[in-house]
DNA sequence: CCGGCGATCCTCT
DNA sequence: GAGGATCGCCGGC
């Protein structure tokens, strides 16, 4: 029930992930952030998606269980995190592009040394680095065990949301599949 | 504040 | 063998 929206269309799920929390527990303490920017990537009908040309070793999580993490390495040095979300039998994931800190600011800073606070979480690679997530986390279950060391939590955003073109892609730029609070 | 550029390596063709 | 769902640094305005 609680995560039923992850089994709706990937674009809908991307919109509904705005405002949810990510909780990361480490030996040093707890980090909690609020998701403020997402993008939907679907399957064969989305030319900008990793899954556009079918299943491969890399994009395999996009074809699997919703609520799992899909992590990939980009430009040889940054990790990007996605939440797998799609209708049953379909394909897709939601790229987590940005967030704001709610708890554990010192831990987030420690993972991104020398970076001003305004640049801590305002990009997909930055977000993953601040939370200490890399490729070894690919496939993690974010919704199955509330005690796990990296999870999604409820807290939906109830305010207005703006849809815009996705960032950093060259195909399907006309689709408004990026979501941010309208604030 | 904004644009250009190099870094760096995995993935798929 | 090319290119990428990016980032940080640098220079200019």
* pLDDT, average across residues A133-139: 98
Provide mean pLDDT across the span A59-63: 98
Q: What pLDDT was estimated at residue A141?
A: 98
pTM of the model: 0.96
pLDDT 10s digits, A88-98: 999 999 999 99
Mean predicted confidence (pLDDT) in A150-177: 94
Q: How many CA atoms does the CB half-sphere of A48 hold within 13 Å?
A: 20
Q: CB of residue A53 closer than 7 A to nucleic acid strand C?
A: no
d(CA A70, CA A38): 14
Q: CA of A77 vs C1' of C10, distance in Å?
A: 20
Nucleotides on strand C with an atom closer than 7 A to protein CB? 4-9
What would the mean pLDDT of A39-55 be, rounded to a whole number?
Answer: 97
Q: Is A76 within 7 A of strand B by CB distance?
A: yes
Q: Flag whether pLDDT at A1 surpasses 80.
A: no
């Amino acid at each position: 029930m609680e995560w039923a929206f992850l089994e709706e269309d990937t674009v809908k799920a991307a919109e509904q992930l705005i405002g949810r929390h990510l909780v990361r527990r480490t030996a040093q303490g707890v980090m909690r952030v609020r998701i403020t920017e997402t993008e939907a990537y679907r399957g064969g009908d989305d030319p900008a998606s990793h899954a556009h040309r079918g299943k491969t070793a890399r994009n395999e999580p996009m074809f699997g269980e919703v609520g799992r993490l899909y992590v990939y390495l980009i430009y040889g040095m940054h990790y990007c995190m996605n939440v797998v979300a799609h209708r049953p039998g379909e394909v897709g994931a939601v790229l987590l592009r940005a967030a704001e800190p709610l708890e554990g600011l010192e831990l987030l800073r420690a993972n991104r040394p020398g970076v001003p606070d305004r640049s801590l979480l305002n990009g997909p690679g930055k977000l993953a680095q601040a939370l200490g997530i890399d490729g070894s986390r690919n496939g993690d279950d974010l919704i199955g065990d509330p005690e796990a060391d990296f999870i999604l939590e409820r807290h939906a955003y109830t305010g207005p949301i703006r849809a815009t073109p996705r960032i950093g892609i060259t195909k399907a730029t006309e689709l408004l599949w990026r979501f941010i609070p309208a604030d």
